[in-house]
Chains A and B, each alone.
Chain A
Amino acid sequence: GAVVSQHPSWVICKSGTSVKIECRSLDFQATTMFWYRQFPKQSLMLMATSNEGSKATYEQGVEKDKFLINHASLTLSTLTVTSAHPEDSSFYICSATSGRAGGDTQYFGPGTRLTVL
Chain B
Amino acid sequence: QKEVEQDPGPLSVPEGAIVSLNCTYSNSAFQYFMWYRQYSRKGPELLMYTYSSGNKEDGRFTAQVDKSSKYISLFIRDSQPSDSATYLCAMITDSWGKLQFGAGTQVVVTP
Say if the beta carbon of A49 comes within 8 Å of chain B: yes
A34-63 vs B, Cβ < 8 Å mask (1 yes, 0 no): 100000001110100101000000000000
A10-54 vs B, Cβ < 8 Å mask (1 yes, 0 no): 000000000000000000000010100000001110100101000
Given A43-B88, A43-B103, A43-B104: A99 and B96 interface contact (C-beta under 8 Å): yes
A76-117 vs B, Cβ < 8 Å mask (1 yes, 0 no): 000000000000000101010101011111111111010000
> Considering residues B34, B90, B95, B96, which has the most beta carbons from chain A within 10 angstroms of its beta carbon?
B96
Closest to B6 in A: A43
Residues on the B chain within 8 Å of A103, using CB: 31-32, 49, 51, 92, 97
CB-based contact B97/A32 at 8 Å:
yes
Question: With A and B bound together, what is the CA distance between A88 and B98 in angstroms?
Answer: 23
Instruction: Specify which of A34, A105, A107, A110 is in contact with B98 (CB 8 Å cutoff).
Output: A34
B40-56 vs A, Cβ < 8 Å mask (1 yes, 0 no): 01111110010100000
Question: With A and B bound together, what is the CA distance between A104 and B51 in angstroms?
Answer: 11
Residues on the B chain within 8 Å of A109, using CB: 43
Instruction: Specify which of A4, A97, A107, A111 is in contact with B41 (CB 8 Å cutoff).
Output: A111
CB-based contact A32/B46 at 8 Å:
no
**How many of chain B's residues touch chain A, expressed as a range?**
20 to 34
CB-based contact A51/B96 at 8 Å:
yes
CB-based contact A93/B43 at 8 Å:
yes
A-B contact list, 24 entries, CB within 8 Å: A43-B88, A43-B102, A44-B44, A44-B88, A44-B101, A46-B98, A49-B96, A95-B43, A97-B96, A102-B32, A102-B95, A103-B32, A103-B97, A104-B92, A105-B46, A105-B49, A105-B97, A106-B97, A106-B99, A108-B36, A108-B44, A108-B45, A110-B42, A111-B41
A residues at B contact (CB < 8 Å): 4, 6, 32, 34, 42-44, 46, 49, 51, 91, 93, 95, 97, 99, 101-111, 113
Given contacts A43-B103, A110-B43, 12 further A-B contacts (CB under 8 A): A32-B96, A43-B88, A44-B101, A46-B98, A46-B99, A49-B96, A103-B51, A105-B34, A105-B46, A105-B97, A106-B90, A109-B43
